[in-house]
Amino acid sequence: MIEPNQLAPDFEADSSKGRVRLSQLKGKKVILYFYPKSFTPGCTREIQRFVELYEQFVNLGAEILGVSVDSVETQKRFAEKYGAKFPVVSDKDKAISSTYGVLNEKGSSAQRVTFIIDREGKVVSVLRNLKKAEEHADKALEEVKKLP
């Protein structure tokens, strides 16, 4: 798994907002959160909380990217249903999840892990093993507030 103080590996993929590339966000703080499956209860609460806090992230110079192994069509529906203004990325081939070391033991989906990336593209914090899925958004906001 990618750990703090490592550079966040770049990737390019299809999302609910079209093609996205992580390196194009250099200069912004990035919350890169992986989740198991769109439309499941925990993942739904998680995206809803990121949507609720989105303006606070933007005001701090941050962008959010949500990633799961669902198809881009599913990601578009998921983002639309819950009003996500940020890209929800399709990692159908599991390349991004593999690179970040967040595939579950079976290799069938991503674990719920959130990476906080600074303006230079370095991972500064990794959130995992939180009790509630929606805590990822609140904890990520706390971490972003610490960054210059």
Q: Exposed, middle or buried: residue 23 (CB in 10 Å: 0-12, 13-18, 19+)? A: exposed
The angle at the Cα of 58, spanning 54 to 63, to the nearest 5 degrees, equals 85
Q: How high is the pLDDT of residue 96?
A: 98
Q: How high is the pLDDT of residue 125?
A: 97
| Domain range annotation of the chain | 25-146
How far is 66 from 103, CA to CA, in rounded Å?
15
The reply to whether the predicted model has a pTM over 0.85 is yes
Of the candidates 36, 39, 32, 136, which has an alpha carbon nearest to the alpha carbon of residue 82?
39
* Banded model confidence at residue 76, pLDDT cuts 50, 70, 90: very high
Q: How high is the pLDDT of residue 141?
A: 98
Of the candidates 5, 16, 82, which has an alpha carbon nearest to the alpha carbon of residue 45?
82
* Catalytic annotation, residues: 43
Domain 25-146 has CATH 3.40.50.300: no
Diameter of the chain measured on Cα atoms: 38
Q: What is the pLDDT of residues 86-139, one digit of tens each?
A: 999 999 999 999 999 999 999 999 999 999 999 999 999 999 999 999 999 999
How far is 101 from 2, CA to CA, in rounded Å?
6
Instruction: Give me the chain's average pLDDT, please.
Output: 97
Q: How high is the pLDDT of residue 60?
A: 97
Q: How high is the pLDDT of residue 20?
A: 98
What average pLDDT score do residues 31-37 get?
98
Dihedral Cα 96, 20, 130, 97, nearest 10 deg: -10
Amino acid at 42: G
H/E segment holding residue 12: strand 12-15
Q: How high is the pLDDT of residue 84?
A: 98
Q: How high is the pLDDT of residue 100?
A: 98
What average pLDDT score do residues 28-56 get?
97
Q: How high is the pLDDT of residue 7?
A: 97
